[in-house]
Amino acid sequence: DAKTTQPTSMDCAEGRAANLPCNHSTISGNEYVYWYRQIHSQGPQYIIHGLKNNETNEMASLIITEDRKSSTLILPHATLRDTAVYYCNTMGSGSGNTGKLIFGQGTTLQVKP
Amino acid sequence: GAGVSQSPSNKVTEKGKDVELRCDPISGHTALYWYRQSLGQGLEFLIYFQGNSAPDKSGLPSDRFSAERTGGSVSTLTIQRTQQEDSAVYLCASSLGARYYEQYFGPGTRLTVT
């Protein structure tokens, strides 16, 4: 099961920033936070991951709190194509890690014109 | 370059028949994963390959499910004696290795068992 909690749904106006929260209060020291999204009828798509420092790539920014118990995914200028289910989870980086993804219910983000 | 491809894109089969689903990962990706997603449900892990070995097959739901990978590349997921509850979208993903968080997914095979 996913070890995170996310709001079930959120709305965002097109062109505005979308801020998606994720709670991972039981995260352990060697676990990364990762985000994927799934647009309707498509396979999941990797967005970003991070350990403790904030991360940014061409898709999004990831802000992780200092205690690492929560994080926020930021889509700086949401477009209609960003409407999707967004999944957050944690995964260890040790040698026993198989990399299998576990998704909870995620947050359904609806970007509105 | 080419992404992950899967075939067929759709498969309708009768209950009790065997089916084979194919996955062509991105060239050079050593890790390969099979997942499935039932209608309105989350992602369910099935099996993980590192090269041609499957160190984690804990997600296979029954012994009717098997998978192999050859040449460190193509993988085939076989479902024997299909049941209606096997109906789902079967997704394949590949990555540079288990320690890489970025997995690339194929478009999936929609399996319908009638």
Å from A54 to nearest chain B CA? 16
Strand duo A9-13 + B65-69: pairing: unpaired
Q: Provide the number of CB pairs (under 8 Å) joining chain A to chain B.
A: 58
Look at residue A67 in the predicted model and tell me its pLDDT: 94
The span from the CA of B61 to the CA of B59, in Å, is: 6
Find chain B residues with C-beta within 8 A of A105's C-beta: 42
- A93 contacts in B (CB within 8 Å)? 99
B55 min Cα distance to partner chain A (Å): 8
Mean pLDDT, chain A, integer: 92
pLDDT tens-digit readout, A15-50 = 999 999 999 999 988 899 999 999 988 899 999 999
Instruction: Please name the residue of chain A whose CA is at the shortest distance from the CA of residue B34.
Output: A100
Task: Return the structure tokens found at A16.
Answer: 């505005």
What chain B residue is nearest to A46 in terms of C-alpha separation? B102
Check if the beta carbon of residue B8 is closer than 8 Å to that of residue B109. yes
Asked if A91 is an interface residue toward chain B (Cβ–Cβ < 8 A), one would say: yes
Which of these, B35, B74, B27, lies nearest to B52 by C-alpha position? B74
Average pLDDT over residues B30-41: 91
Residue-wise pLDDT tens digits, B73-88 = 999 999 999 999 999 9
Chain B residues with CB within 8 Å of chain A CB: 31, 33, 35, 42-43, 45, 48, 55-56, 59, 91, 93, 95, 97-108
